Chains A and B, each alone.
Chain A
């Protein structure tokens, strides 16, 4: 069939009526024939714009070419020259605003399904045995990476391949960061995360769990221990609330707490696992980012009868990925746009009973460039709900700073980091991911980890010294929560 006549291939998914009762993965991945067919669509542009849209610069045309020629091993090898975590990226990257948004085919029709092809090739490798890449000879230099999330894992993987000895320190009892506590099983199975973490460890990276840097060990301790460079990828921290009355009633969760209970602590398997979560009949999730979709869809799977996404702007401003919104709608999540809670009310035992909301209208653009939501006076109404989950984003965790003198922070509490090199204002300390940008995406954190790893490598190999240390203090624009 001529290339132009091939339609963008749909990915099979679990039936919505079935999947709302389980935590198995929703999207099932391409079968090999479909992947090859989709790969046929790629024009193999001489100047591939898709690569410009990828924060880690995956050689997209090359991996697709190898895939369509049936050289699956070659395809994944090309992929992994740039991306240590393709099975994760293939699932959770917002491709529609990155690589796929730049695809030439998208101008007139549908772009190549780059993300689905990435997922296919990564899953193929996992099922056939993961190859180990070439690793540079040991340099004898040691690097500490703080945080085993997307930024830290990426930085650690690259640094190990450059030949440095890397140890990752993780505060939780399992590696993965947001990949393991935040993103639900039905969107990113934990065994996928585990196998990508194992891959990074197979490069010779050590992992220390249950270790809170800033508390258990300080940066000074790590330097005294002989580490020559430190990368901070500690992520975002404290969840944000709205500061409205009733926010601390029982049954009000931050999305972080709710998702941590469900994902990391496996509350959906309670009482086989010890950590519970309380789900009522009607759940309202405040916010409309990916985290909000995850919380809403998890609530449904945990037995809620009605689940609402309550969002103060309109459908056009929804920050979640189109695919996640689509999946949520298919599952019966109800969207309440232009609606903002003003008060949560409870019963005499301190439990949530309902939520008072006000209708909003869109006004002039605000600092984010989006129309500012303005309350419509007198439009208050009540919603009966048993749970309210706040998915409003996070602000940086203060913990790591208890000892980290010399690391400048922005007025938002994030670390001042050079957007290109990841250098902080303290020599030998680099940072990347949400701790620098505020809540953003997995792939942007990975991009930051990658850039910092390259700069750390240059430093350790003597390309510059502490005397040359300078930081471009450009405030990195945060993604919309």
Chain B
């Protein structure tokens, strides 16, 4: 069992928890993820590591409440426990001094882009960051991103804060104006990563994305997380989560993410109908 030490509401549906998992924190690096289970009857789901504290032995996880599992997770408070926290899984981001890099974080993807931007900054890169969300309420960690970025652009789809734009717009302007970043990292919803990749492709700007596929074990056993990259089947859990955005078959990824849409609805309804508030998933 893994104790939650701290919890914060970053937005109405975006929550942050800090979990005690000393062995995982000891090894965690930017770009990696964990697989968690909320309770005994719960699913195993991957969550990217937003931050870690080796001294305290904690991991920071940020998630958006979209289905039953994340909603159940959202009911957890400091002092509650998670049934499993497994990791750190996947390969860490390849951090070097590349020169100039761009970090793009969309929505809940701002969380995992933060430690990558921080490491890139530490490695001596000039870090230009673009973070965006649908609206002001969904935006978080602007201050933290500012501390690790040489430049920071903030966008909202509806213009309720920052520039009214999708994250791809300032990115396209920068590239059109002649910016030649050595690498671009983009993390967010698959559809955002798809459009970032489409935006950067004509400029031949190397673009790394962190794929959020469905997983079960997360350790290379089940193959649920398979994606097509450069025409080859790859496993996100052991070969990813980062891949070349220009090589990813985005439509396939988007379709695979929707496999259990109906079941997710059913699970949520079942929980709402039968849930007694004890959050045991009954």
- CB pair A241 B217 closer than 8 Å: no
Q: Inside 8 A of B240's CB, which chain A residues have their CB?
A: none
B260 touches A276 (CB 8 A): yes
Task: Spot the interface stretch: B41-49, B101-109, B125-133, B201-209.
Answer: B41-49
Interface string of A235-261 (1 = CB under 8 A from B): 001110101000110110110110011
Contact with A171, one of B27, B86, B233 (Cβ below 8 angstroms)? B86
B256 sits at the interface (CB 8 A): yes
**Interface membership of B87, Cβ < 8 A:** yes
* B44 near A250: Cβ-Cβ < 8 Å: no
Rounded to whole angstroms, the CA-CA distance of A270 and B227 in the bound complex is 26
**Are B86 and A248 within 8 A (Cβ)?**
no
The 8 Å CB contact of B222, one of A173, A239, A270, is: A239
Q: Is A361 an interface residue (CB 8 A)?
A: no
Interface residue B89 (Cβ < 8 Å from any Cβ of A): yes
Judge whether B43 and A250 touch: CB under 8 Å: no
Question: If A171-B217, A254-B222, A257-B216 touch, does A211 touch B267 (CB 8 Å cutoff)?
Answer: no
| Chain B hits for A210, CB < 8 A | 84-86
Q: A274 touching B89 by the CB < 8 A rule? A: no
Check A272 against B41 for contact (C-beta < 8 Å).
yes
B216 near A260: Cβ-Cβ < 8 Å: yes
For A337-360 the 0/1 string (1 means CB < 8 A from B) is 000000000000110000000000
In the complex, per-residue mask of B138-175: 1 if CB is within 8 Å of any chain A CB, else 0: 00000000000000000000000000000000000000
Report the nearest A residue to B41, measured CB to CB.
Answer: A273
Chain B nearest CB, measured from A180 CB (Å): 12
Task: Please report which residues of chain A, range 217-231, place their CB below 8 angstroms from some CB of chain B when the two chains form the complex.
Answer: 217
Instruction: Please name all residues of chain B whose beta carbon is closer than 8 Å to the beta carbon of A243 when the two chains form the complex.
Output: 233
B11 within 8 A of A: no
Chain A neighbourhood of B258, CB < 8 A: 250, 350
Shortest Cβ distance from B255 into chain A, in angstroms?
A: 3
Residues A191-229 near B (CB distance < 8 A):
209-212, 215-217
Inter-chain contacts of A350 with B (CB < 8 A): 251-252, 255-256, 258
B23 within 8 A of A: yes
- Is A248 within 8 A of B228, CB to CB? yes
Determine whether the beta carbon of B43 is less than 8 Å from that of A274: yes
Min CB distance, B258 to chain A, in Å?
8
Contacts A216-B23, A271-B266, A271-B267 given; indicate if A256 touches B222 (C-beta within 8 A): yes
Separation of A210 and B224 alpha carbons in the complex (Å): 19
Tally of B interface residues using CB under 8 Å: 46
B59 adjacent to chain A (CB < 8 Å): no
User: How far apart are B43's CB and chain A's nearest CB, in angstroms?
Assistant: 4
Does A399 sit within 8 A of B, measured CB to CB?
yes
How distant is B254 from chain A, measured CB to nearest CB, in Å?
8
- B228–A398 touching, CB < 8 Å: no
Whether, in the assembled complex, A110 has its beta carbon less than 8 Å from a beta carbon of chain B, the answer is no
User: How far apart are the CA atoms of A237 and B267 in the complex, in Å?
Assistant: 30
Q: In the complex, which residue of chain A has the Cβ closest to the Cβ of B214?
A: A257
With contacts A241-B223, A248-B233 taken as known, whether A271 is within 8 angstroms of B44 at the C-beta atoms is no
CB-defined contacts of B266 to chain A, threshold 8 Å: 270-271, 276
Q: Is the CB of B88 within 8 A of A215?
A: yes
Complex: A272 Cα to B216 Cα, angstroms: 17
Q: Say whether A473 faces chain B, with CB atoms less than 8 Å apart.
A: no
Note all chain B residues with C-beta closer than 8 A to A241. Answer: 223, 226, 233
Question: Does B278 sit at the interface, judged by CB under 8 A?
Answer: no
Contact pattern, B 250-264, Cβ under 8 Å of A = 1, otherwise 0: 011001101110011
Chain A nearest CB from B100 CB (Å) reads: 30
Hey, which chain A residues are within 8 Å of B52, CB to CB?
A: none
CA distance A215 to B218 in the complex (A): 12
B235 at the A/B interface (Cβ < 8 Å)?
Answer: yes
The minimal Cβ–Cβ distance linking B87 to chain A, given in whole angstroms, is: 7
B233 touches A215 (CB 8 A): no
The dominant DSSP class at the A interface is loop
A177 to chain B, nearest CB (A): 10
B87 contact from A173, A215, A253, Cβ within 8 A: A215
Q: Do A216 and B87 touch across chains, with their CB atoms under 8 A apart?
A: yes
Closest Cβ of chain A: how far from B70's Cβ, in Å? 11
Task: Name the distance in Å between A438's Cβ and chain B's nearest Cβ.
Answer: 15
Asked if A334 is an interface residue, CB under 8 A from chain B, the answer is no
| Neighbour of A217 across the interface among B23, B221, B228, CB < 8 A | B23
Q: Are A250 and B256 in contact (CB under 8 A)?
A: yes
Q: Is the CB of A256 within 8 A of B270?
A: no
Tell me how far the C-beta of A396 lies from the nearest C-beta in chain B, rounded to whole angstroms: 9
Q: Is the CB of B121 closer than 8 A to any CB of chain A? A: no
In the assembly, what is the distance between CA of A173 and CA of B84, in Å? 7
A291 to B: closest C-beta gap in Å: 13
**Chain A residues closer than 8 Å to B255, beta-carbon distance:** 250, 349-350
Q: If A173-B84, A212-B87, A350-B256 touch, does A397 touch B221 (CB 8 Å cutoff)?
A: yes
Instruction: Say yes or no: A212-B89 contact (C-beta < 8 A), given A260-B217, A271-B270, A274-B42.
Output: yes
Does A172 have its Cβ within 8 Å of any Cβ on chain B? Answer: yes
Q: Known: A171-B217, A217-B23. Contact between A248 and B226, CB under 8 A?
A: yes
B24: CB under 8 A from chain A?
yes
B23:A172 contact, CB within 8 angstroms: no
Q: Does B238 contact A (CB under 8 A)?
A: yes
* B83 part of interface (Cβ distance < 8 Å): yes
Expressed in whole angstroms, the Cα–Cα distance for A243 and B226 within the complex equals 13
- Inside 8 A of B24's CB, which chain A residues have their CB? 216
Determine if A212 and B219 form an interchain contact, defined as CB atoms under 8 angstroms apart. Answer: yes
Q: Does A278 contact B (CB under 8 A)?
A: yes
A residues near B235, Cβ cutoff 8 Å? 238
Residues of A contacting B220 in the complex (Cβ-Cβ under 8 angstroms): 237-238, 397-399
Docked CA distance A350–B249 (Å): 13
A266 to B255, CA, bound (A): 24
A104 at the interface (CB under 8 A from B): no
Residues of B within 8 A of A398 (CB): 220, 238
Interface presence of A275 (CB below 8 A): yes
Which of chain B's residues 9-50 have a Cβ closer than 8 Å to chain A? 23-24, 27, 37, 41-44
Q: What is the interface of chain A, defined by CB distance below 8 A to chain B?
A: 171-173, 181, 209-212, 215-217, 237-239, 241, 243, 247-248, 250-251, 253-254, 256-257, 260-261, 265-266, 270-276, 278, 349-350, 394, 397-399
List the 5 closest A-B pairs by CB distance, nearest first. A350-B255, A276-B263, A257-B222, A254-B223, A271-B270
5 contacts between A and B (CB under 8 A): A237-B238, A248-B256, A260-B217, A271-B266, A273-B41
B residues neighboring A (CB under 8 Å): 23-24, 27, 37, 41-44, 68-69, 83-89, 216-217, 219-224, 226-228, 233, 235, 238, 251-252, 255-256, 258-260, 263-264, 266-267, 270-271, 281-282
Other than the known A173-B86, A216-B88, A260-B222, what 5 A-B pairs have Cβ atoms closer than 8 Å? A173-B83, A216-B27, A238-B223, A270-B266, A276-B266
